[in-house]
Chains A and B, each alone.
Chain A
Amino acid sequence: MANDVWVYIEHKDGAIAPMSFELLGIGKQLADAFGSSVCAFVVGDKVDDLAKEAGAYGAAKVYAVEGDVFKGFRGEAYAKAAAFLLDKYKPEIALFRATIMGTDVAAGAAAQLGFGLCTDTIGLAVDGGKVKMTRAAFGGNYSVSVVNEKAAPQIATVRPKAFAMGEKDVSKSAEVIKESFALADADLSTKVVEFIQSATSVNLVEADIIVSGGRGLGNEQGFTVLQQLADLLGGAVGASRAAVDSEWIPYEHQVGQTGKTVKPKIYIACGISGAIQHLAGMRTSDCIVAINKDPDAPIFKAATFGIVGDYKEVVPKMIEKFKSKLGK
């Protein structure tokens, strides 16, 4: 239907990650407001398992483009196929995850279709027959809402974890509609020749818990104790730019305006002052714990819980308490 809500299913080599289906929850709410259906769309070399899983997470229909050329993720190829599906069915809105993969596909598809999109969306609401898409601006000091007034579909990339995941119900299944879309290797100009797995494999954007360190750690060893806390809690380690610039930790850990934007359930900031550019990357976290020696540090204004003290004393004590309380 013309006002269906579509959710793009992101995957790596066909592997099923539950987070790929997270947008079906908010998609369903929007579709209910329109009296339409939430549908999934997927591009890949083998899509059946993904389609089945999308059905269990609530998709009424799954639109798919399948082919050997889609073996291994290639933004260029996936964007072309996604644009083809969106142009053919013109749903009301198409939601992508605001990950690197999701953004490459969304941006490429929007450009093929000839219009702008809303990126890193944190709010979606039906207003006057259109979906109003809200995003943070200037480090979260403002929020702006945008609408694509002229064309369908609207396209949004949505910040991971901005919306709750829908329930999984294995008794539900979706109708799968496979479309053929001819694309040959020769039509493409990029080729992935190698993938080098990151040794630390940080996935800050998807982490539920982040333990972050700043200049206040004093040295590289500070991150060892933060890593212990993160490991204990099943979390990831983040950092301020000052810590990255001091070369205590690689850039992929940087949170903030020129690093990653994260929204974990728990963000523990150790020895971070709370500069606006750092807050820009983490202020929408559900619960923020700040540990800082200086009672006047701006980070305390953003914190849910503040601890005035030396991280070298506080963090090991927390590790000790967690170990005994969690029985680890």
Chain B
Amino acid sequence: MKIAVCLKQVPDTEAEIKWDIPKGTLSRDGMDSITNPFDEFALEEALLTKENYDGEIVAISMGPEGAKDVLRNALALTVDQVALCTDDAFAGSDTYSTASVLAAAIKKVGDVDVVFAGKQSTDGNTGVVGAELAAILGFSPLTQVAKVRSIDAAGKKIVVERAVEGGTEVVEAKLPAVVSVIKGINEPRLPNLMGIRKASKIDIPQWSAGDLGVDAGKVGAAGASTKVVEIAVPPPRGAGEILKGEIEEIANTITDKLIDLKVIK
């Protein structure tokens, strides 16, 4: 079975965010970066799939050169192959152009049965790249996956559980499929020292727009139809009121205040 996993590099949750205001993008240089937290679950699911069903894993990331770090981390966890899609033409991509670059990379890898992605990134945070990727590739779209029940590569079939509003949906789908995973699907493992040392010596292949056969005018800032036109800091919430007094009095006040909102029926 051929397994692909999409890993995005995002600013560390504690990092100070730096913007490139005129372009409406992040200036990723000099910000502490990590693997998107949801993608750690995607990577772990790829590793489990390989262990349970045999196969090989290709980890793919689109981003600047620095995004190599997330692929190196994946190599340390013993993925078989990695590729960094990087090209100045990719900068400023919207969700659709991102998904189309990733789709081109998956086509270049060839014969992929299942693609794992995270539910959403912590920076762009749109949570739609997985679904768009599936639509572009014509793969089965499987979002919000909480459990992979079974994969039958020969029979071209996958059964998953999706966590949706009000319950769990069990979905049977044809392979190839794009599976976007949620937190809790597994416990991501950490790389060991040996893995890290080995991974540090591996050359990371880079794929440009030309290598991927994507039209540079159709991706990145040039091709993206969705543009960030304004970045603002929302006004802080007005300073709150600390209720003081004896507990009896506080409980009396707060319940009055909440009842006054006319929300409680």
Residues of A within 8 A of B (CB): 12, 75-76, 79, 99-101, 103-104, 106-108, 110-112, 114-120, 132, 134, 136-138, 140-151, 189-198, 201, 203, 205, 208-209, 233-234, 251-252, 254, 257-259, 265-266, 276-277, 283, 286-290, 295, 300-309, 313-314, 317-318, 320-322, 325-326
Contact = CB atoms under 8 A, between A and B. Distances in A.
A104 B254 CA distance: 40
A104 to B, nearest CB: 6
Interface in B62-100: 94-97, 99
Contacts of A118: 126, 226
Given A115-B94, A117-B226, A305-B257, 9 more contacts: A76-B140, A103-B143, A119-B127, A137-B125, A146-B228, A193-B172, A288-B237, A304-B241, A306-B241
Nearest to A250: B184
B164 A258 contact: no
Interface string B4-21: 000000000100010100
Given A146-B228, A148-B226, A252-B163, A107 B131 contact: yes
B171 A191 contact: yes
Contacts of B197: none
B112 interface: no
Contacts of A303: 240
A103 B141 contact: no
Contact of B167 (A138, A148, A198, A277): A198
Contact of A306 (B170, B228, B240, B251): B240
Interface in B9-60: 13, 17, 19, 24, 37-38
A192 B96 CA distance: 27
B94 A116 contact: yes
A302 B132 CA distance: 35
Given A193-B170, A304-B240, A100 B131 contact: no
Contacts of A112: 135
Contact of A189 (B123, B164, B173): B173
Contacts of A314: 247, 250-251
Secondary structure of the B contact surface, majority rule:
mixed
B176 to A, nearest CB: 9
A75 B141 contact: yes
A83 to B, nearest CB: 9
23 contacts: A101-B164, A107-B95, A108-B132, A111-B132, A117-B128, A142-B231, A146-B227, A146-B229, A147-B226, A148-B226, A189-B174, A190-B141, A196-B167, A198-B166, A251-B182, A257-B122, A265-B261, A287-B258, A302-B237, A302-B240, A303-B240, A305-B240, A313-B247
A75 B225 contact: no
Contacts of A189: 139-140, 173-174, 177
B224 interface: yes
B229 A141 contact: no
Interface string B228-261: 1111111001011111000110111011111101
Given A143-B234, A147-B226, A287-B261, A107 B128 contact: yes
Contacts of B126: 117-120
A313 B125 CA distance: 38
A212 to B, nearest CB: 15
Contacts of A194: 169-170
Q: Chain B interface residue count: which class?
A: 35 or more
A189 to B, nearest CB: 4
Contact of A144 (B37, B94, B228, B240): B228
A100 B143 contact: yes
Interface of B: 13, 17, 19, 24, 37-38, 94-97, 99, 122-123, 125-128, 131-136, 139-144, 159, 163-174, 177, 182-184, 224-234, 237, 239-243, 247-248, 250-252, 254-259, 261, 263-265
A300 B226 contact: no
Contacts of A134: 230
Contacts of B142: 190
A193 B254 CA distance: 47
A103 B255 contact: no
Nearest to A241: B183
Nearest to A149: B227
Given A145-B228, A148-B226, A304-B240, A111 B13 contact: no
Given A116-B96, A140-B234, A75 B143 contact: yes
Given A76-B141, A193-B172, A314-B251, A142 B132 contact: no
B131 A322 contact: no
Contacts of A317: 247-248, 250-251
A115 B226 contact: yes
Contacts of B232: 142-145
Contacts of A321: 251-252, 255
Question: What 6 pairs between A and B have smallest CB-CB spacing?
Answer: A116-B94, A116-B226, A111-B135, A107-B131, A107-B128, A317-B251
Given A190-B172, A304-B240, A304-B241, A110 B96 contact: yes
A195 B143 contact: no
Contacts of B132: 107-108, 110-111
A228 B265 CA distance: 15
A295 B242 CA distance: 9
Given A145-B229, A266-B258, A306 B243 contact: yes
B173 A144 contact: no
Nearest to A128: B229
A209 to B, nearest CB: 6
